[in-house]
Chains A and B, each alone.
Chain A
Amino acid sequence: MKLKARHKRFILIGIGLALIALAATLILNAFRSNMVFFYTPTQVEKGEVPKDTGFRIGGLVVPGSLKRDDDGLTVHFVITDTSKTVQVIYKGILPDLFKEGKGVVAQGKVDASGLFVASEVLAKHDENYMPPEAAEALKRARENSTSTLVVPK
């Protein structure tokens, strides 16, 4: 079969694109550890985080863990990834979306006692959008289901 010139060019473009995609995949894989925006508490526990330098830690704020010092600026809270937790201390203004039970990303360092001293706290919110009434109804439904639904044996 003899290929027309334009078909040949299409094939060449296809091969070129495939090679670029392969190269990109390899590069991104190689830089995988540098591409993460934050580490999870489990990774902190395992010691997978950079020593000496600062890093970011992300997870959910444990409900009921938020405490304010008397100066009104220093806050203590606990970040969890539902298996491990990290104690965080931060002095500054928290973003609007910062809430207990919601996602958060904190930048800082771990001090000698294992406390994470944050220099910046960012709220990481989820991808769910709904009116307040719907959120309320959802919350109520969840509470009801955990308290009244008994799984038959």
Chain B
Amino acid sequence: MRTIVLDSSSIISLSTTCLLWILKKLKEIAHVRFVIPRKVKEEVVDISLTNPNYQLDGIRILNYIGEGIIEVVDDARIQGFASRFLDLANNLFVARGRSLKLIHYGEAEVVALSKIVGTKNLCVDEKTMRILLEDPIALKRLMERKLHTPIEIRNERLEELKKNYGDFLIFRSAELLMISYRRGVFTDFLAGCGVDGWIRKRFLRGALTSLKLNGCSISRDEILEYVELISKNHSESELSS
């Protein structure tokens, strides 16, 4: 059974767009396992329950945990792995003589958990972690452009990052949505709208835009590209060639 580690941001955007249920469907269809570390559970359940704006979301997520759709993994080794990754990420870049503290501990636990359960599959909606793991030089460029200041990379840490964390498969809730669509998860949902392509295109664009507006780091251009990709009816075999 393949395992996917979810971070807080991906659960939050799926929940606030009422799309969390696709996890249940994907689990049924593809026999995947969705796991989270304790710190993510704290953010998406415990903290949400303290704010009336997000209490319903928190209860929804708690329900999914109770049903085993999302598993909370507690392992004594997580802290050690997380601290190592946190130290690496937060001392990778230097600006004005200072290490840039890029991420916080909860986000490091996601990477730690992936090492412990032995998976490379991470679902991360916020942009910094994703860019850090996929292309740290791109993150350096972005920060230099925004901060109007040169950023130095500690090369030994960059090498360590690439060596130990460079082969993750990172995707977003947007990609989960696309896969769900291709696997027929929305067939019943769209049945009432008929099979008209116009409606389907609107559905995809609307759902992806909704995820974006709720924090998923997908750009407008990427949304349009995804919609066009599907509307040209690419087959699975064409995508895998």
Binding partners A and B:
no
